[in-house]
Amino acid sequence: MLFGVAIIVGLLWLFYKLWVSNYNYWKERGIPSYPAEFPYGSDPNLVKLKTFQGYTIDKMYHEFSPHPLFGIVVLRKPLLVVKDPELVQLVLTKEFSHFRERGLIKLLKKDTLNHHLFHLGGERWRPLRMKLTPTFTSGKLKAMFPLFISCAESFSSLLLSKADSKVDIKELAGRFSADVICSCAFGLDMDVINHPDNKLRRIGIERMKVPFFRKLNVALVQLFPALSTVLKTRSTSKEDENYVINLVKNIMEQRENSGIVRNDFIDLLIQLKNKGNLGDDGHEFEEPFEMTLELIAAQCFVFFIAGFETSSSVQSFCLYELALHQDIQSRLIKEIDETIEKNGSLTYKAIQEMEYLDMVVAETSRKYPTIPSLNRQCTKTITLPSGQKIEKDTAIIIPVWSLHQDPQYFPDPDKFNPERFSQENKDSIVPYTYLPFGEGPRMCIGMRFGLLQTKVGIVTLLRKFRVEPCEETKIPLVMGGASATTASDEPVIIKLVARS
């Protein structure tokens, strides 16, 4: 009996020792670090995710203000927070070959829908990124624009039914973005605007949440990578995965049989599958790369999940700020009215001509960066100009939220001020301090698409309505920890007032 107890105590002690063995990781390497305590590491909030991750890292960012980087430990995993803009540039661009991966999850072969650009690493990622980049040229977006307009018309009708009422703008913008992305990524006219409980949208929303079980799973796999095979950590349930793959399969068959061309992502992916490239860029790929049905479905899926939550989030934060800043809203409405009148209708060219809209959206993405921090993993050990070494497999965090809120780079950061992005001011922004779409070879591939979708949504609404705050409007908004993106804890309520 006594022997049994001694063994258990011994095992627990060993487990404890193993757990805390990294707690001096940064100190041993001469890198300033945040103290770690058993069992959570540097800060329980980074594990429990009850508080918005951006706030937690921001607190540390300020405590380490004179340092260009600092180390933290999450549970028992060491992470390096890189905060100096020149070092950020080194990680994201200059020494990209040392930081090619995100390293967020361990990709399982059978987790088919996760084999997309965002998560794929190294050799698999590069040819796929090269193949998919031409999908997002301005020419391709222009060809897709009629699909945007068709969704904007449904959005406009929905808005008319809400005239002079209080709305959850995040929910409405979410329906519009999901409709556009369903139309462009899956080639489906699903009318998500009037059928918000659409299955694809539900799968996408689920995917962006971080439920307790997934948090636990991710934490365990980070601690003990070998567990991933045992725990069968799927990102999407088998049923949802089959649904998405079959959807894509049916659409591809229909397209190939009927010869219908819609100029959407599916058309472009079918061309890739058949020809190996998109044909009009004259680029032949060195490495043969088979676009299987599963791989195509995974790319459609990432376009969907990466595209609808991000764009709707920028749209809703933007309309919220416009409700609180009537002067900015009036100037924007004037620009919208004049540009549409000049162009005869809402065209792709008209959107590109709206300079003030571009400034307002840029400032929204500064104040509310949809992805609060970027992740990279060191894939080859590197020595920094300071002499400090970053070892292979080190996880890196770029604290986008904190850089965007740092008064050193953006004076009076709480103020919503689109003038920061005017022609005369934007060149004085310190490079690598403004990162709403990331930077370097792994920056957002869908940036132009996302901006276009965001702008079309805002213009559609402001053509018919003004937005105003109401009793239920929370000022300021508090971000929550339940989502992987920057999202308010509560609905974003504003009032739509029909324009006279």
Task: Select the residue interacting with ligand HEM from 113, 252, 360, 374 (CB under 6 A).
Answer: 374
198 binds ligand HEM (CB under 6 A): no
Name the minimum Å distance from CB 439 to ligand HEM: 6
The one-letter amino acid at 13: W
Q: Which stretch binds ligand HEM (CB under 6 A): 209-217, 307-315, 317-325, 333-341?
A: 307-315
Of 334, 330, 245, 331, give the one whose Cα is nearest residue 292. Answer: 245
Given the complex with ligand HEM, which of 33 and 486 has the nearer CB atom? 486
Residues 128-187 touching ligand HEM, rule: CB under 6 A, are 129
Name the minimum Å distance from CB 342 to ligand HEM: 26
Strands 166-168 and 493-498: antiparallel
Given the complex with ligand HEM, which of 36 and 462 has the nearer CB atom? 462
Cα dist from 461 to 86, 130, 320, 359, whole Å: 40, 36, 13, 18
Name the minimum Å distance from CB 5 to ligand HEM: 50
Residues 397-456 touching ligand HEM, rule: CB under 6 A, are 436-439, 442-446, 449-450, 454
Of 302, 281, 292, give the one whose Cα is nearest residue 139. Answer: 281
Rounded distance between C-alpha atoms, residue 144 and residue 147, angstroms: 6
Given the complex with ligand HEM, which of 111 and 439 has the nearer CB atom? 439
Number of residues that bind ligand HEM (CB under 6 A): 25
301 binds ligand HEM (CB under 6 A): no
DSSP code, position 84: S
Given the complex with ligand HEM, which of 115 and 442 has the nearer CB atom? 442
236 binds ligand HEM (CB under 6 A): no
Cα dist from 58 to 20, 54, 310, 403, whole Å: 25, 6, 21, 9
Alpha-helical regions (H) of 24-137 = 25-28, 45-48, 53-63, 85-89, 122-132
Given the complex with ligand HEM, which of 55 and 118 has the nearer CB atom? 118
Of 86, 63, 103, give the one whose Cα is nearest residue 72. Answer: 63
The token duo for 438 is: 């990331």
Given the complex with ligand HEM, which of 74 and 458 has the nearer CB atom? 458
Q: Helices 122-132 and 293-324, interaxial angle, to 10°?
A: 70
What element of type H or E holds 377?
strand 374-377
Question: 182 labelled as ligand-binding?
Answer: no
Given the complex with ligand HEM, which of 73 and 173 has the nearer CB atom? 173
CB distance 388 to 108 below 8 Å: no
311 binds ligand HEM (CB under 6 A): yes
Name the minimum Å distance from CB 437 to ligand HEM: 5
Q: Point out which residues bind ligand HEM (CB under 6 A).
A: 117-118, 129, 302-303, 306-307, 310-311, 314, 370-371, 374, 436-439, 442-446, 449-450, 454
Tell me the binding residues: 444
Tell me the binding residues for heme: 444
